[in-house]
Amino acid sequence: MKELKEELKNKIIKELNLGHLSVQDISDNDPLFKEGLGLDSIDALELIVMLDKDYGIKLNDPIEAKKVFESIENLASYINKNRLR
């Protein structure tokens, strides 16, 4: 799980163009949206694409997505349980 969290932090910085941040700036339980990393709705779409592309997970339920995208902790845990690759 620790490795997966690091991997996710690196991916989020790269794929969501958060060039002003480093992995150390993102805590496992920081909110990803609003007051946390400040991600927006386009970032949410980009995360959905990333889950599909990199882990074979299709996230279609918006209520579930809200919970999954709360933090790196939740995201890593969800990927760990549902990944196809």
Partner 1 sequence: MQELKKKQNIFHYCKIEKNFVLLNDKLIISEDKSILFSEFSKILYQQIKLNYPKFFKMDDLSKLALITSEYLLTNYFKKTKKPNDISIILSNKSSSLNTDKEFQKTIGNKDNYFPSPSLFVYTLPNISIGEICIRHKFTGENIFFISENFNSKLINEYASSIIKNGQNSIVLCGWVDFNKDNFKAFMYIASDNYLNKITTNYVDQLFK
Whether 84 and 55 have beta carbons less than 8 Å apart is answered as yes
Rounded Cα distance between 50 and 39, Å, is 15
Nearer to partner 1, 2 or 34 (CB): 34
Among the listed residues 2, 20, 34, 85, the single contact to partner 1 using CB under 8 A: 20
Rounded Cα distance between 75 and 80, Å, is 9
Rounded Cα distance between 54 and 27, Å, is 22
Q: Write down the least CB distance from residue 2 to partner 1, Å.
A: 27
Q: Write down the least CB distance from residue 43 to partner 1, Å.
A: 7
Using CB under 8 A, list all residues that contact partner 1. 15-20, 38, 42-43, 45-46, 49, 52-53
